[in-house]
Amino acid sequence: MLSRDAVRRIGRWVPAAKTYVLGVAVLVAGPLGFGQSAGTVTINGSVTIVESAQETGPVQRATKDLEKDFTKVFGQVPKVVNSLIDAGPTAILIAQRENVPTGVNCATTTNTEAFAFSIANAGGATSVVCLTGADMRGTIYAIYEFSRTVLGVDPMYLWTDKEPAKRASIRLPQDFTKTYPSPVFKYRGFFTNDEDLLTGWVVPPKGEQTGIALSVWDQVFETILRLKGNMVVPGTWIFPDDAQVHAATARGLIVNQHHATPLGVNAARWPRDVPYNFSTHPEILERAWTNAVNAYKPDDEILWTVGLRGLSDQSYAQLDPSVMNNDPLLGQRIADAIADQIKIVRARYPNAQFIANLWQEGARVMHEGYLKIPPEVTLVWADTGYGDMQDDGKVAAGQGMYFHIAMMNGQANQLSEMVPVETIQEELGRYIKAGATSYFLVNTSDLRPVAMTARAVMETAWGGVPQEKDADTAYYRKWATEEFGAKSADAVAAIYKDYFAAPSLRRPYFGSGMTSAGNAPPPPPARNFTRWYGDQHYHTEARRLILDDLSVHQVVGIPSQSPKWTQPHVMPSGSEEMRKRSLDQDIQDGEESAPRWDAVWNKAVAAENLVDPTRRQYYQAEVLTMITINRESNRMLLELAKAMKDADAGDKEKAKTEAAASLAALDEIQKSMALGEYGKWKNWYRGDWLTGVYRTHELVQDYLNHLKDPMAKLPAPASWSGWEAYFHIMAYEDDRSVDVH
C-alpha cells in the first residue's frame, strides 16, 4: 500500500500514473479501498462528506442539503468532516478549486460558475469523489448536480413532492470524470411576482417581517440553485433591508430588482403628499434612490436595475404631465434618471453592474429611438407577459431578456401553466443565437403552478436549446417520465401539447378593460402577438359582467398595488351594445374551446392509470387540477354569459338553470383545488386572492340569487381588482413608506 506522501509524489512526477478525460488530469494510481475496482467508486450510507472549513456559508448550506439527500437515498446520515485525514474509505470531497487539498488531483476548471466531477485518491485506503467548482456558485452547482445525476434527486422536489429511490449503494462509472462549462446566460434567476399563493400558504412565525415565510423563501432559493440559477428578485413590493433580501445572499444568490423598483425603491409605498416627478422635483427621487442603495447591507451581492417608472408598476408618464404623449421627452427623462442612478450606486459600489428592463413603454420609446441606454448598462428586453419577446427582431449581442411563464394582468395565467415549451425554446433560442445572453429573468409568480416550465426555462438558460427534432415534445416526455413514470410519458406529453392548444385566442383588446392594478390596460403591441384566454380571464370577465349588470353600470375600482392613499375610482362602463357584443363573444369563444377542453380532460383521466401509483397525487395537483381550473372556468363563463343573454330575453327559468351550471363549474374547480392541498400543501389555495375563484363563486351565487329573487341582497358595486392580495402580501410593512428625506 502506498503512503500518502508516495501518492503525492506520483501525482507530481509520473505522467503514466494519470489518465486524461475531457482534458482534465485525474490520478488513478494506488489502491482505491475495499470493494473498489480501478477507476470506480461505490458509495453508500457510510460515505464521508469532506468539506473544507474554508468554504463559504452558501456552500455549507448546499452541503447541508446534500446530507439530507444522502439520508433520503441511503437511509443513513453521512458523516461530515473538514479534512480527508478524518474521512473513511470513501469520501465525497466538496471544494472550490483553490481549496482542493494538496496532492489530491481533482478535476477542476477556471471558467465562471463552471464545475467538475472526478474520482481521485487521497493516499492510503481513501478514495475520493471530487465535487469541485471554479468559484463559490460553481461549487454549489457541483453539489446539486451530483444530487440530481447520481442520487436521483429531482431539482424541483420541493414543488413536485418527488422523493429519490431508496438505494443500498451506487457505483460510479469509470468515466465519472466530467467538466461542466460556464452557463449560456450570465445571470439567471426567478422573480416571484404577485406572490399571493406563496404568501397565504404558510403563516410566518410571530415577529418575522417578510410576507412570505422565510422557510418558504428558503425553498425558493434552494430551487433556484438546484436549477443552477444565480439570481433572484425576492418579491414584488419589498424594501431593500427586508429579511428575505439578506436570506437570498446568505444562500449565495445575487439580488436583483424588477422594472418597477429601480435601485430597490418600493414604488407601491410612496409617501402621501410627496411629489413623484423627476421633471419638477428630481432631488426627491434622488434622495429616495440614495436611501434605498444605502439600505442594502454592504456584503449583499446586487445586480442593480436602473430606469424610471411610475408608482405601482404604471408608466412614469401617468404622473408627469410634461411627458404625457411626448415620447421624445419621456425617453430623455428615463435616460437622465439612469445616469443619476448610476452615479448614486457607483459612489457606494464602484464595481457595480447594471441592467435596464424595457417593460411596456420602455420598449416603445427604445424602438422609436428616443431612449439611449449607456454602454455600461445591459439592455433587457421584456416579453408581452405571454412569452413573446418585444424586441421586434432587434435583439443584439450583450443584451438580455425578461420572460414570463405566469402573469398577473387579469387575463393571463396565475394558477396554471401558460407558456408552451415550444415558445420557450424558440424565444430563448433566438436570443442565444443573437448572443443576447447577458441576463435572463423569469417571472414565476407562485412557482408551484408552473413547476414544469420553470425547470424548462432554467435548463435552457444554463445549457441552451436541445438540438433535437420536436424538442418541446421531447421535453414533455422527459418531464412526464421523471415525474409520473416512463409508462405514462407518451400520453402525458400529448396531454401537455393539447393543453397549451386548448384555450381560445384572445380578442385584440382586453375584454375586462382593467388590469390587476386597476389601471386601463395598454394597447396591443405593434407585433401581432398571439394571446389566449388564461385562467384569470374567465374570472375577471365573469365578475365584470355580474357587477356591471347588478349595479347598473356603477362600478368602482379599488386599487390593489397602489400606495395606501390612492383613492378608488369609477370604472368606465360601456354601452349596452358593447355589453351585448361581449356576451356574444364570450359565448362564441366558450363554445368553440369547450370541445378541446373536454378532449384534454378525457385524455388526462384516461392517462391516470399509466401514472406510477406513488405519483398520482401529484398528477392530480399538476395535471388534473390544472386542466380542471381552465376547463371549468371556461364552462363557468360560457354558462354565465348564456344566462345573462337569456335573462335579457326574458327567459328567467332558462337563465337560472344556466347560472346554476356556472356555479356548479366553480364547485368543480374548488373540489379539484382541495385535492391538490394534500400533506404539506394544506392551505395552498388559501392565498388565491388574485385570480379569485372564491370571489367569482360568491358573485355567481349573488347573480343566481338575484334571478330567483329580484329583492335579494346585492354585492357591493366594487371591482375586486386584487386589492385583498396586496393587503395580505404587504401587510407586514404596516405604515412604512419610502424614505425620501
- Do residue 194 and residue 312 come from a single domain? yes
Residue 525's pLDDT band, with cuts at 50, 70 and 90, is very low
Segment among 5-9, 213-217, 266-270, 452-456 with least mean pLDDT: 5-9
Higher local confidence (pLDDT), 20 or 268? 268
pLDDT in tens, 530-564: 567 899 999 999 999 999 999 988 899 988 889 98
- Residues paired with 118 in a beta bridge: 130
Does residue 526 fall inside a structural domain?
no
Last residue of a domain, one of 128, 157, 180: 180
Does residue 540 fall inside a structural domain?
yes
C-alpha 76: how far from chain center: 33
- Residue 512 scores a pLDDT above 70: no
- Do residue 216 and residue 255 come from a single domain? yes
Q: What is the mean pLDDT of residues 298-323?
A: 96
What is the reported pLDDT for 124?
A: 67
- Do residue 61 and residue 145 come from a single domain? yes
Q: Which three cell numbers stand for residue 259?
A: 422594472
What is the reported pLDDT for 173?
A: 84
Task: Decide: 538 and 637 in contact? Cβ < 8 Å.
Answer: yes
Residue 737, CB half-sphere, CA atoms under 13 Å: how many?
13
- Do residue 299 and residue 443 come from a single domain? yes
Q: Which of 186, 525, 553 is nearest to 388 (CA)?
A: 525
Q: Which three cell numbers stand for residue 292?
A: 434605498
**Distance from C-alpha of 150 to C-alpha of 146, rounded to nearest angstrom:** 5
Angle between helices 576-607 and 535-550 (to 10 degrees): 140
Higher local confidence (pLDDT), 528 or 573? 573
222: CATH: 3.20.20.520
Enclosing H/E stretch for 254:
strand 254-256
Residue 80, CB half-sphere, CA atoms under 13 Å: how many?
17
Residue 571's pLDDT band, with cuts at 50, 70 and 90, is confident
Q: Compute and round to an integer the Cα radius of gyration of the chain.
A: 28
Segment among 63-77, 467-481, 720-734 with least mean pLDDT: 720-734
- Residue 735 scores a pLDDT above 80: yes
What is the reported pLDDT for 320?
A: 97
Does residue 512 fall inside a structural domain?
no
What is the reported pLDDT for 22?
A: 27
Q: What is the mean pLDDT of residues 49-73?
A: 96
- Residue 439 scores a pLDDT above 90: yes
Q: What is the mean pLDDT of residues 33-56?
A: 77
Phi, psi of 162 (to 5 degrees): -80, 120
- Do residue 143 and residue 232 come from a single domain? no
C-alpha 407: how far from chain center: 10
127: CATH: 3.30.379.10
Q: Which of 465, 418, 380 is nearest to 189 (CA)?
A: 380
pLDDT in tens, 636-653: 999 999 999 999 999 999
pLDDT in tens, 81-99: 999 989 989 999 999 999 9
Number of domains in the chain: 3
Q: Hey, how many other C-beta atoms are within 10 angstroms of the C-beta on 614? A: 12
Task: Decide: 356 and 258 in contact? Cβ < 8 Å.
Answer: no
What is the reported pLDDT for 72?
A: 98
Judged on CB neighbours under 10 Å (0-12, 13-18, 19+), 369 is exposed
Last residue of a domain, one of 410, 440, 465: 465
- Do residue 233 and residue 313 come from a single domain? yes
**Distance from C-alpha of 557 to C-alpha of 116, rounded to nearest angstrom:** 56
- Residue 519 scores a pLDDT above 70: no
What is the reported pLDDT for 2?
A: 30
Q: Which residues contact 505 (CB under 8 A, 6 or more apart)?
A: 530, 531, 532, 533
Q: Which of 91, 94, 97, 147 is nearest to 123 (CA)?
A: 91
Segment among 435-449, 490-504, 575-589, 692-706 with least mean pLDDT: 575-589
- Do residue 127 and residue 253 come from a single domain? no
- Residue 630 scores a pLDDT above 80: yes
- Give CA separation, 319 vs 253, 263, 310, in Å: 34, 19, 7
**3-class SS of residue 160:** helix
**Distance from C-alpha of 700 to C-alpha of 541, rounded to nearest angstrom:** 12
Pairing type for strands 24-27 and 18-21 reads antiparallel
pLDDT in tens, 150-207: 999 999 999 999 999 999 999 998 778 999 999 999 999 999 999 999 999 999 998 8
Q: What is the mean pLDDT of residues 512-541?
A: 59
Q: Which three cell numbers stand for residue 393?
A: 427582431
Of all residues in the chain, the percent with pLDDT exceeding 90 is 83
Q: What is the mean pLDDT of residues 727-740?
A: 95
Please report, as a single letter, which amino acid is at residue 181: P
What is the reported pLDDT for 529?
A: 52
Q: Which three cell numbers stand for residue 740?
A: 425620501
**3-class SS of residue 731:** helix
- Do residue 452 and residue 594 come from a single domain? no
pLDDT, the chain, mean: 90
Does residue 431 fall inside a structural domain?
yes
- Give CA separation, 508 vs 529, 530, 531, in Å: 9, 9, 8
Phi, psi of 397 (to 5 degrees): -55, 145
- Do residue 271 and residue 169 come from a single domain? no
Does residue 542 fall inside a structural domain?
yes
- DSSP state string for 330-396: HHHHHHHHHHHHHHHHHHH-TT--EEEEE-THHHHHHHTT-----TTEEEEEEB-SSS-B-STT---
Enclosing H/E stretch for 652:
helix 652-675
Q: Rounded to the nearest 10 degrees, how much is the dihedral formed by the CA atoms of 616, 622, 625, 631?
A: -120
Task: Decide: 159 and 409 in contact? Cβ < 8 Å.
Answer: no
**Distance from C-alpha of 506 to C-alpha of 516, rounded to nearest angstrom:** 17
Q: Which of 297, 376, 363 is nearest to 330 (CA)?
A: 363
- Do residue 301 and residue 346 come from a single domain? yes
What is the reported pLDDT for 530?
A: 59
Pairing type for strands 115-121 and 18-21 reads unpaired
Q: What is the mean pLDDT of residues 440-469?
A: 97
Pairing type for strands 231-233 and 187-191 reads parallel
Please give the residue range of the domain that contains residue 322: 187-465
Q: What is the mean pLDDT of residues 706-710?
A: 97
Last residue of a domain, one of 403, 435, 465: 465
- Do residue 542 and residue 455 come from a single domain? no
Q: What is the mean pLDDT of residues 386-406?
A: 96
Edge to edge, what strands does the sheet with 556-557 contain?
569-570, 556-557, 718-719
**Distance from C-alpha of 631 to C-alpha of 628, rounded to nearest angstrom:** 5
The residue assigned the cell 415549451 is 421
Residue 611's pLDDT band, with cuts at 50, 70 and 90, is very high
Judged on CB neighbours under 10 Å (0-12, 13-18, 19+), 676 is buried
Q: Which residues contact 434 (CB under 8 A, 6 or more apart)?
A: 395, 396, 397, 399
Q: Hey, how many other C-beta atoms are within 10 angstroms of the C-beta on 674? A: 12
Does residue 483 fall inside a structural domain?
no
**3-class SS of residue 256:** strand
- Residues paired with 171 in a beta bridge: 42
Does residue 507 fall inside a structural domain?
no
What is the reported pLDDT for 116?
A: 97
Does residue 607 fall inside a structural domain?
yes
- Do residue 212 and residue 174 come from a single domain? no
pLDDT in tens, 239-294: 999 999 999 999 999 999 999 999 999 999 999 999 999 999 999 999 999 999 99
